[in-house]
Structure 1
Amino acid sequence: MEEYLQRSNIQGRSEIQVSRLDPRLRLAQCDKELTANLESPAQPLGRVTVRIRCDGSAPWTVYVPAHVRLYRDVVVVTRPLRRGVPVQPADVTVAERDVGTLNQGFLTATEQVLGQKTTRALVADQVLAPLHLQQAEVVSKGDHVVISAASTSINVRMPGEALANGAPGEQIRVRNLSSGRVIRARVTAPGQVQVEM
């Protein structure tokens, strides 16, 4: 577990619970050093199996089940949130959770979520996963925007009207107010869109 945390550069606290061996099991005293290998995947979380082997004069192998918990600080919701609302600083905090049980993923810093919108209703103390969030729109349908088009030798800016809502990086339809033409442009910032040249 320590090797995994170092290799992955993860800060966390682990708990390992080794299951009891069958008391009827009779193994010969090993006259060599025992070897232990993890039989499970590279990520040693949840239920794992360790192969303990004796390569001495009376060789034997036994498989020992264990349960590994890794506790990390993750972002949780402080109060119920409706679907489609932007996340504010008071809506989230960081709390320690067993990340081995978080199948939908998790986030580790509140800065990663502020300003994004919820994709579903969330309850207090719920761990915030990436699929619970989407970029908030910075351009709304009907907004006046600045359309920019740039190449290595020319830079053009013109007024436009957004014909759809858009988050940074999304392509939306925009009406060029100078020519009346409808074009597709990528949202770059509040009130700003860019056309590829």
Structure 2
Amino acid sequence: MRITVFTLALFFSGLALGADARTTAAQIQQASETFLRSFAEQQAARGFDVHFQPGSLDSRLALAPCSQPLAVVFTGDPWKSSRPSLQVSCSGERPWRLFVTPSLTIHGPGLVARRPLARGEVLTPDLVTATTMALNDSHRDILSEVGDVAGMVVRRPINPGVPITADLLEAPNAVSRGDHVIISARAGAFAVTSRGKALADAAVGEQVLVENLRSARTIKATVTGPGRVEVPM
């Protein structure tokens, strides 16, 4: 993914809050709408099309006057929900906050399977294609770059046209059970290497049990690349 929190200080021209003034529902909705419009403009610059409707509020709502600009932030991830929560808050002398739930759809390119993909299949660029879709409807990270999926392994079957999400894929094994590997014991710039045998399958970044062929000891190492593992010295 991908979670970014956008904060926008919002000023309302011509608004004079006196001692008896209140922050109204209309002003809060204006703050929400201005924030969402700014978000939409930012995403448009990145090639995404955002449509939104600010959340509704009871028109009778009246909160304490705010001597500071209203602030709006996402409290829900807009890339994983079409109804992400917004927090509107005042940090003035009489602080308050409330939550608004807008409708928001982000359209952009996402990868889908060209044909049925079987569990354990290694993805290549010709097995996926990009199409425009609502990226935040699935509550999961829809992948959009072919480079993010090429070489990954299908974790469970994927039907044609189904969006490719991160949870459907896993990294390929860099070592497999029984493989001979190079064990590096590292301390700063100093390293000692020896040969070993992997006792399980593992991907880069995962830990695996390795038998040191010189000492016959079993150690836990971290996979650093194909046929290579590392242990702290």
Q: Distance in 1 between matches of 2:220 and 2:52?
A: 55
2:125 maps to 1:89:
yes
1:127 partnered with 2:163: yes
- Residues of 2 paired with 1:94 and 1:5: CA distance? 22
Shift of 1:41: 6.8
CA contact (8 A) 2:40 2:51 kept: no
1:145 deviation in Å? Answer: 0.4
Which of 142, 153, 158 is 1:106 aligned to? 142
Unaligned runs of 5+ in 1: 19-37, 49-65
Match of 1:3 in 2: 38
Distance 1:103 1:155, change over 3 A: same
Q: Does 1:13 align with 2:27?
A: no
Q: How does 1:111-190 map to 2 (within 5 A)?
A: 111-152=147-188, 154-190=190-226
Larger radius of gyration: 1
SS at match of 2:175: coil
Q: CA shift at 1:103, angstroms?
A: 1.8
Flag the 1:153–1:86 CA change in 2: closer, same or farther, 3 A. closer
Q: Deviations over 1:13-50 (max 9, x none)?
A: 245689xxxxxxxxxxxxxxxxxxx9x977497469xx
Q: Deviations over 1:101-152 (max 9, x none)?
A: 2222211211011111111100111101111111110100000100001113
Distance 1:139 1:70, change over 3 A: same
Output the CA distance in 2 between the equivalents of 1:186 and 1:194. 5
- Aligned in 2, Cα 1:47/1:195: closer, same or farther, shift over 3 Å? closer
**Residue-by-residue CA offset, 1:76-114 (whole Å, 9 max, x unaligned):** 111110112211111112110012322222112110111
Letter in 1 for 2:187: S
Measure, in 1, the Cα distance between the counterparts of 2:150 and 2:201: 19
Instruction: Give the TM-score normalised by the residue count of structure 1.
Output: 0.71
Amino acid at match of 1:116: M
Which SS does the other structure have where 2:40 is aligned? helix
> 1:138 touches 1:168 (CA, 8 Å); kept in 2?
yes
* SS of aligned partner of 1:149: strand
CA offset digits 1:163-191 (Å, max 9, x no partner): 00010000000000111111010000001
Cα distance change, pair 138–41 in 1 and its aligned pair in 2 (3 A): closer
Identical columns (%): 30
Alignment of 1:4-83 (within 5 A): 4-7=39-42, 10-15=46-51, 43=78, 46=82, 68-83=104-119
Q: How big is the alpha-carbon RMSD for the aligned residues of Structure 1 and Structure 2?
A: 2.8
State whether residues 5 and 11 of structure 1, in contact with CA within 8 Å, keep that contact through their aligned partners in structure 2.
no
